[in-house]
Amino acid sequence: MTYARVGASGLKLPRIALGLWHNFGSIDRYEQSAQMLTRAFDLGITHFDLANNYGPPPGSAEETLGRALRTEFRSYRDELVISTKAGWGMWPGPYGDFGSRKYLIASLDQSLKRLGLDYVDIFYHHRPDPETPLEETMAALDHIVRSGRALYVGISSYDKEGTRAAAELLRTMGTRCIIHQPPYSMFNRSVEQGLLQETQRQQMGVIAFSPLSQGLLTDRYLSAIPTDSRIAKQTGFLNQADLTESRLAQLQALSKLAQERGQSLAQLALAWVLRDQAVTSALIGASRTSQIESCVAALEQLTFSQDELARIDAITQSPDRGH
């Protein structure tokens, strides 16, 4: 594993990190989830990413990690970076959603109970809130750090203007916003519209979520829809309608290019996200340990020729771009 510094902070993250959005809920077999966590750690993946609502049911992924921390990882807390978030709907009524101080602090207290921890390493505001004043949300993050509930704070899915405003507000409060968690993959390049420059200006790190486009940018769907895949299980935002003929043609062409580089399609997709030093870490999901092993092996070949980059652009900019 290689580790990269998170912006100008003192923290380093593994260039491949593991997220617990899917396959770690109480509907999933604990032994399988625990096996993925321990294998990941053995491969040097020291960072596990959560949110209050991961499961299903919501909250249960934090309980799964809490159980693993008490058993499998009992003496390894200080070798791990654990993050969680609040910002999407978590409980009924006006206090369990978006970005009020009321919501963020109560939610993190609930997360800490489910995880069985005194603090998390990184706490994120999960998405921008169009109604709550940004000052209030950032003051809540500042309070969370000062009260010892989190060591660092970050933001997720903020646009470049929101990122600049959030970072500047936190700086005036004396707390740094060290990391941004946006989506980034060959199929979703919204961060290239100025966000990556802004994070660099603010000396923030970037951890790219869904770098495999939720599993599309892998060999999973090249010939059929496997019954144990995310599309078949209908647990995410990915569905059969995303597998258009033109999308499949793009995946076949990318897979061919990957083979020429001696990589799988998933490895090509991860290497591509990590080619840019502005990206600290690629935040993957997985449904089995072999996927994690294969993703980590992407680090063996992160460089691209100009010709390869141009081919990737040509393939992904053909119709159907933008998932």
- The residue ranges that bind ligand NDP (CB under 6 A) are 19-22, 49, 126, 156-157, 181, 209-215, 218-220, 229-230, 266, 283-287, 291, 294-295
Please list the residues that pair with 183 across neighbouring strands. 209
Min dist CB 119 to ligand NDP, Å, is: 19
- Cβ closer to ligand NDP: 144 or 231? 231
Write the CA distances from 211 to 238, 247, 286, integer angstroms. Answer: 14, 16, 12
Burial of 182 (0-12, 13-18, 19+ CB in 10 A): buried
3-state SS class at 84: strand
Min dist CB 255 to ligand NDP, Å, is: 11
- Cβ closer to ligand NDP: 75 or 227? 227
d(CA 54, CA 88): 10
d(CA 120, CA 111): 9
- Cβ closer to ligand NDP: 181 or 202? 181
Min dist CB 170 to ligand NDP, Å, is: 18
**238-241 contact pairs (CB < 8 A, 24+):** 238/213, 238/214
Min dist CB 73 to ligand NDP, Å, is: 18
The token pair that represents 190 in the structure block: 């919204």
Q: Are 229 and 221 in contact (CB under 8 A)?
A: yes
Q: Which residues contact 232 (CB under 8 A, 6 or more apart)?
A: 225, 226
- Cβ closer to ligand NDP: 117 or 283? 283
Please list the residues that pair with 88 across neighbouring strands. none
- Cβ closer to ligand NDP: 148 or 241? 241
- Cβ closer to ligand NDP: 280 or 294? 294
Q: Are 120 and 86 in contact (CB under 8 A)?
A: no
Min dist CB 41 to ligand NDP, Å, is: 16
Pairing between β-strand 16-19 and β-strand 281-284 as defined by DSSP bridges: parallel
d(CA 50, CA 33): 14
- Cβ closer to ligand NDP: 202 or 213? 213
Pairing between β-strand 150-156 and β-strand 120-125 as defined by DSSP bridges: parallel
- Cβ closer to ligand NDP: 176 or 220? 220
3-state SS class at 156: strand
Min dist CB 219 to ligand NDP, Å, is: 6
Min dist CB 262 to ligand NDP, Å, is: 15
Min dist CB 79 to ligand NDP, Å, is: 19
- Cβ closer to ligand NDP: 13 or 212? 212
Give the total residue count for the chain.
323
Q: What are phi and psi of 144, to 5 degrees?
A: -60, -40
Min dist CB 46 to ligand NDP, Å, is: 15
